[in-house]
Amino acid sequence: MTTLDDDRDQLRSNLELIGRENIDDLEAVLSLVGQYDVEGFHRVEDNCPAEFTWDYQKGAKPQLDKLYEKAKKAQWNAQTDLDWSIEVDQEQVVMANAEANPAQMQWDPAALVGTALEKWDDKRFMQFGIENQNWLLSQFMHGEQGALLCTAKIVETVPWIDAKYYAATQVMDEARHVEVFSKYLDEKLSGHYPMNAHLGLLLDDIVSDSRWDMTYLGMQIMVEGLALAAFGFIHMMTTEPLLKKLLRYVMADEARHVAFGVLSLQEYYKELSAAELRERQEFAFEAAIRMKDRMAMQEVWERMEVPTSDVIKITAMAPERDDFQILLFSKIVPNLKKLGLLDAADGWLRTKFTEMGAIAFEHLTDSTEDEDAFADGSPAERQVV
Ligand SMILES: [Fe+2]
Ligand SMILES: [Fe+2]
């Protein structure tokens, strides 16, 4: 007997999965720009059934139980554990970042010849740096709201009591994360951006999917895996003390969230058919591309009135920025391997990550071995730095 899934024996093409054949088609990437919803709301149908369980045996899934007990003691208070009296000078942050990391934060003048940026003065470049900060923190904030909604959905849809308990602690964590990024934007930076269009498409896909494990795969494995790597990079680079501490605290929570994803899915994925695994591979690939696409920062370029043709030219001459984008997959690839998704369907996803240049990360340790995830006490008590 064949199932509906088995009838589809072809893996879908890039065009079907992400709307374009060439994943590096920057013109197509830049053509999607996030917009503010004039009504201030964005509604997505949540198609997954809410699931009661009558099996209340706590600890039936011992690792999830352990994570839940750790999470209860790891809570921190966004209002009182961070020093909000610290003043942030955005211009100084732009200059310090450029100095700390010239390959990412400065442009080679040769790349700017013949583009709008050739005529920019120092003031305009400074504005660009400030817009970058506002954009980045805005995307973190929107992503955190995505995590808040997804995790509330997991409380409803996951069938096991230990996972419902753990997910409930993550809902609290994500509320705190939205709170800190929103407060930082409002009190320390100088403007908001709408959700990036590619991130928005991905979050819509995750929230609307009817299968409970896809929420985990999209959010805990892909979005939070990338966020953890990005937070780690910025935490390492920034000299702004409030952001540095804020990110370190958020990272301590995110380490648990990603471990929660791997621990929840690893057994479940062993039971899935080849066709079902293939769909998860496609979903992971689609998510990876959407997250890579969001890094093109199209909303900033638009606000700075730089034409798409100029952005393509400038980006083509800054290959080290691509290398940085690939680094952000360092947490994702080992976790996909642990879940068996790299090698299912004749290694289709392995080929995709090889093409993206990210396959070498498969040898790093996966998130179930992240010390932060199982640490004792809150980050404030542990005095993490
Ligand atoms: Fe978060
Ligand atoms: Fe999270």
pLDDT tens figures, 171-198: 999 999 999 999 999 999 999 999 999 9
Give SS3 for 202.
helix
Question: Over 70: is that where the pLDDT of 89 sits?
Answer: yes
- Measuring CA to CA, how many Å separate 13 from each of 113, 289, 331? 37, 13, 26
Question: Over 90: is that where the pLDDT of 35 sits?
Answer: no
- Identify the pLDDT of residue 3: 43
Among 106-110, 216-220, 254-258, 284-288, whose mean pLDDT is lowest? Answer: 106-110
54 alpha carbon – ligand 1 mean position (Å) = 30
203 alpha carbon – ligand 1 mean position (Å) = 14
173 alpha carbon – ligand 1 mean position (Å) = 7
Confirm whether pTM is higher than 0.75.
yes
How many angstroms separate the CA atoms of 48 and 64, rounded? Answer: 22
- Identify the pLDDT of residue 323: 77
What percent of the chain is modeled with pLDDT above 70? 97
Range of 23-27, 106-110, 289-293 with top mean pLDDT? 289-293
pLDDT-based confidence at residue 39 (cuts at 50, 70, 90): confident
- Identify the pLDDT of residue 40: 85
Query: Average of pLDDT values for 39-58?
Result: 93
If you ran DSSP here, which 8-state letter would residue 51 be given? -
Range of 36-40, 277-281, 290-294 with top mean pLDDT? 277-281
Among 101-115, 151-165, 217-231, whose mean pLDDT is lowest? Answer: 101-115
- Identify the pLDDT of residue 4: 43
What sign for the dihedral angle of Cα 316, 319, 324, 325? positive
Place of tokens 């005529």: 119
138 alpha carbon – ligand 1 mean position (Å) = 13
226 alpha carbon – ligand 2 mean position (Å) = 11
Query: Average of pLDDT values for 110-127?
Result: 93
- Identify the pLDDT of residue 100: 84
How many angstroms separate the CA atoms of 171 and 112, rounded? Answer: 45
How many angstroms separate the CA atoms of 32 and 44, rounded? Answer: 19
Which chain residues have CB less than 5 Å from ligand 2, an ion?
147, 224, 254, 257
- Identify the pLDDT of residue 307: 95
If you ran DSSP here, which 8-state letter would residue 117 be given? G
Question: Over 70: is that where the pLDDT of 166 sits?
Answer: yes
- Identify the pLDDT of residue 105: 67
What percent of the chain is modeled with pLDDT above 90? 78
- Identify the pLDDT of residue 104: 67
323 alpha carbon – ligand 2 mean position (Å) = 25
How many angstroms separate the CA atoms of 265 and 64, rounded? Answer: 11
pLDDT-based confidence at residue 99 (cuts at 50, 70, 90): confident
Identity of the residue numbered 164: K
- Identify the pLDDT of residue 22: 87
227 alpha carbon – ligand 1 mean position (Å) = 8
Q: Judge whether 306 and 131 are in contact, CB under 8 Å.
A: no
Question: Over 70: is that where the pLDDT of 1 sits?
Answer: no
253 alpha carbon – ligand 2 mean position (Å) = 7
pLDDT-based confidence at residue 8 (cuts at 50, 70, 90): low
Q: What is the pLDDT of residues 306-322, one digit of tens each?
A: 999 999 998 888 777 77
123 alpha carbon – ligand 1 mean position (Å) = 34
Give SS3 for 72.
helix
Question: Over 50: is that where the pLDDT of 353 sits?
Answer: yes
Question: Over 70: is that where the pLDDT of 86 sits?
Answer: yes
Q: Judge whether 244 and 235 are in contact, CB under 8 Å.
A: yes
Q: Which ligand is nearest to the CA of 257?
A: 2
Query: Average of pLDDT values for 17-37?
Result: 87
Place of tokens 């997804």: 150
Question: Over 70: is that where the pLDDT of 246 sits?
Answer: yes
Q: Which ligand is nearest to the CA of 154?
A: 2
201 alpha carbon – ligand 2 mean position (Å) = 19
Which chain residues have CB less than 5 Å from ligand 1, an ion?
144, 147, 174, 177
Residue positions counted in the chain: 385
22 alpha carbon – ligand 1 mean position (Å) = 31
Closest CA to 46 of 140, 192, 149, 120: 149
- Identify the pLDDT of residue 7: 47
Question: Over 90: is that where the pLDDT of 79 sits?
Answer: yes
Per-chain mean pLDDT for the chain: 92
Compute, in degrees rounded to 10, the torsion defined by CA atoms 209, 214, 216, 218.
Answer: -80
pLDDT-based confidence at residue 106 (cuts at 50, 70, 90): confident
Q: Which ligand is nearest to the CA of 144?
A: 1
69 alpha carbon – ligand 2 mean position (Å) = 17
How many angstroms separate the CA atoms of 333 and 51, rounded? Answer: 30
- Measuring CA to CA, how many Å separate 298 from each of 135, 194, 312, 315? 10, 11, 11, 12
350 alpha carbon – ligand 2 mean position (Å) = 26
265 alpha carbon – ligand 1 mean position (Å) = 19
- Measuring CA to CA, how many Å separate 24 from each of 3, 105, 319, 353? 35, 21, 12, 14
Q: Going by C-beta distance under 8 Å and a sequence separation of 6 or more, which residues neighbour residue 178?
A: 141, 144, 145, 148
Q: Going by C-beta distance under 8 Å and a sequence separation of 6 or more, which residues neighbour residue 334?
A: 361, 362, 363, 364, 365, 366, 367
